A = this chain, B = another copy of it.
Amino acid sequence: MDEVVLLDTWGSMFGMRAWIALEEKGVKYERKEEDLSKKSPLLLQMNPIHKKIPVLIHNGKPISESAIIVQYIDEVWNHNPPFMPSDPYERAQARFWVDYIDAKVYPTWNKMWLSEGEEHEAGKKELISIFKQLEETLGDKPFYGNEMFGFVDIALIPFYSWFYTFETYGNFEMEAECPKLVAWAKRCMQRETVSTILPNEKEVYNAVVEMKKNIET
């Protein structure tokens, strides 16, 4: 019997990836919420290098970094539908776009929400252009994994619960900027694995407002 523990924290896009992946594969797991202001000895022991969530602990052995965890889950529970395309080229493309999301979305949002004036405007423009690129990449496919809810879908959909926060801090509308991307997100939300895991967008926003207060004081 496999023992599977997910160290996570509320509202984390990266934690949600691992969580959704476990649900998609129908894995039995225990999810432990970490308080990142007071990291548990278990987290520090399981991810001594980065000291970050998510960490998947499978029969006592830790795996860190959300994109790596999702691939691991796909490879271990491989009797269920795969997240990865079977073609190596498609697989490389999926990895490319997850890498793109990791390199671009959160860092650009971070630049935007913590800055004002010109830097804020530049960050906002960049964030919109990143989502437009991701929308273009999706094209007319129902999911990034085509008919399949796959690796890129799992990596990107958690950000949907942050769209309202991005919009409110950036003063723009995702629906107006990227209608096809929003339609894709709504399509993903029809999956119970996604809709039950993604937190309420207003709650995310409120938490971010609180976080900013704490940074500023």
Q: Which residues of A contact B (CB under 8 A)?
A: 49, 58, 61, 63-65, 68-69, 71-72, 75-76, 88-89, 91-93, 95-96, 99-100, 133
Known contacts A64-B96, A72-B89; 20 additional CB pairs below 8 A are A49-B133, A58-B89, A61-B89, A63-B89, A63-B92, A63-B93, A63-B96, A65-B96, A65-B99, A68-B92, A68-B95, A68-B96, A68-B99, A69-B92, A71-B95, A72-B88, A72-B92, A75-B88, A75-B91, A76-B88
Contacts of A69 in B (CB 8 A): 92
| Dominant secondary structure at the A interface | helix
CA gap between A149 and B130 in the complex, in Å:
37
Smallest CB–CB gap between A91 and chain B, Å?
Answer: 7
CA gap between A72 and B57 in the complex, in Å:
28
A-B CB contact pairs (8 Å), 24 listed: A58-B89, A61-B89, A63-B89, A63-B92, A63-B93, A63-B96, A64-B96, A65-B96, A65-B99, A68-B92, A68-B95, A68-B96, A68-B99, A69-B92, A71-B91, A71-B92, A71-B95, A72-B88, A72-B89, A72-B91, A72-B92, A75-B88, A75-B91, A76-B88
